């Protein structure tokens, strides 16, 4: 029997495939793309998007003792298949030699650097590792491009977290004021990308992406933590949801919209940096209220604030000024905040329903194993 996640992914792929195909015609000549962080939320959507564009897609994955490819399993084919255009390779942003070897072997037309330790709260606990992957990892990849002489276009995944406490709205000219080790590492990655563009003539662009979510968002990120809890509470599996700062304001969009922006940046003749967001901000409290209401629940009966989830240095208000991206790229978000929350809640309800079909006892055991006591 198909697992719940496989069922959900199949439905999502069916929903998104036609949308991707409408985003543009297939390229007349097959291009080759390399994606770091291919198995993450953005990497999986970008892989689907590029495949729909007719690309040959190569993704980097880290060696792990547990399976870590569930977001791309539905597009993976046996390499013996003659029509296969999606390939995975072992490499790591902490290993410069592996990056150089991959570039020398593949000679990609486009590189999308999405790999990172991207959890802001966790970056306070593992700051050195975060800097090694996020900051130096970007440098290693750019240096590999320079040393191998591969003629390609390079996309760097910068982050709205770099703005930190800078007053909103934040645009390309806003001065960075990072408030976490993750954000500091992203600032280095962003600036070294600009430096290599200016020093070596590399066609390198950075997308300063504001928060973008989906049903594939990691379960420890606050949006997915909320929608997953809503589904569990709705079905009596979970009693309470504990959160940190409910007053933090974020500019939230739909992840598939944002991978389209990444691609558009690399189609420009001149490389540049672009802020990507919805130009609309909402509090965590608003997200919570809407998510619970989608399932017919009153959030005040289930949500409690736990100070342990507050960051050592908070980022209060992020709001994107996307005028440049709209003007030059012609990019616009297609999913509203309300629609985003609904999509995520319904997806988690669907996944839980699929798991329940395996038996209530199995569900309780799974909840206990994950530290959630029904």
Beta-carbon contacts of residue 304 (< 8 Å; ≥ 6 apart): 240, 241, 242, 243
Phi, psi of 35 (to 5 degrees): -125, 120
Q: Assign residue 24 a region (left: φ > 0; alpha: ψ between -120 and 50; beta: otherwise).
A: left
Burial class from Cβ neighbours inside 10 Å (0-12, 13-18, 19+) for residue 186 reads buried
165 assigned to active site? no
Bridge partner list, 36: 113
Catalytic choice (44, 118, 158, 159): 159
Distance separating alpha carbons of residues 201 and 304, to the nearest angstrom: 52
Q: Assign residue 305 a region (left: φ > 0; alpha: ψ between -120 and 50; beta: otherwise).
A: beta
26 assigned to active site? no
Catalytic choice (20, 45, 182, 258): 182
Say what angle helices 337-356 and 360-369 make with each other, to 10 degrees: 120
Structure tokens at 374: 């029904």
Catalytic choice (161, 213, 289, 351): 161
Burial class from Cβ neighbours inside 10 Å (0-12, 13-18, 19+) for residue 164 reads buried
Cβ pair 182, 131 in contact under 8 A? no
Say what angle helices 255-266 and 4-22 make with each other, to 10 degrees: 40
CA torsion angle 98 100 102 107 (round to 10)? 170
Helix and strand numbers, DSSP H then E, in the chain: 13, 13
155 assigned to active site? no
Structure tokens at 320: 């994107």
- Of the candidates 269, 283, 362, the one whose C-alpha atom is nearest the C-alpha of residue 319 is 283
How far is residue 323 from each of residues 212, 335, 357, measured CA to CA in Å? 18, 18, 47
The catalytic residue positions are 159, 161, 182
């Amino acid at each position: 029997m198909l697992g719940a996640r496989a069922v959900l992914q199949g439905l999502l792929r069916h929903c998104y495939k036609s949308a991707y195909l409408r985003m543009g015609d297939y390229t007349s000549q097959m291009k080759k793309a390399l994606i770091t962080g291919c198995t993450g939320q953005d990497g999986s959507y970008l892989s689907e998007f590029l495949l729909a564009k007719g690309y040959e897609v190569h993704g980097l994955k880290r060696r792990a003792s547990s399976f870590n490819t569930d977001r791309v399993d539905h597009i993976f084919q046996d390499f013996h298949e003659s029509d296969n255009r999606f390939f995975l390779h072992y490499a790591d942003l902490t290993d410069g030699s592996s990056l150089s070897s991959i570039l020398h072997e593949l000679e990609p037309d486009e590189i999308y650097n999405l790999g990172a330790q991207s959890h802001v709260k966790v970056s306070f606990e593992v700051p050195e590792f975060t800097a090694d992957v996020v900051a130096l990892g970007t440098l290693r990849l750019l240096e590999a491009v320079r040393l191998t002489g591969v003629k390609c276009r390079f996309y760097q995944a910068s982050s709205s977290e770099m703005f930190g406490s800078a007053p909103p709205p934040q645009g390309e000219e806003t001065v960075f004021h990072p408030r976490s080790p993750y954000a500091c590492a992203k600032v280095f990655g962003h600036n070294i990308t600009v430096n290599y563009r200016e020093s070596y003539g590399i066609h390198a662009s950075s997308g300063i992406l504001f928060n973008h979510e989906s049903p594939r968002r990691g379960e420890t990120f606050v949006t997915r933590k909320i929608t997953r809890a809503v589904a569990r509470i709705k079905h009596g599996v979970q009693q309470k949801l504990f959160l940190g700062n409910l007053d933090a304001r974020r500019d939230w969009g739909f992840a598939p919209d944002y991978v389209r922006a990444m691609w558009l940046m690399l189609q420009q003749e001149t490389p540049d940096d672009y802020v990507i967001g919805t130009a609309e901000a909402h509090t965590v409290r608003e997200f919570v209220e809407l998510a619970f209401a989608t399932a017919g629940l009153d959030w005040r009966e289930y949500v409690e604030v736990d100070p342990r989830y507050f960051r050592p240095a908070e980022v209060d208000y992020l709001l994107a000024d996307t005028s440049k991206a709209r003007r030059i790229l012609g990019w616009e978000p297609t999913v509203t905040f309300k629609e985003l929350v609904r999509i995520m809640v319904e997806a988690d309800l669907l996944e839980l329903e699929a798991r329940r079909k395996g038996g209530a006892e199995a569900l309780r055991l799974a909840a206990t194993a994950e530290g959630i006591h029904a």
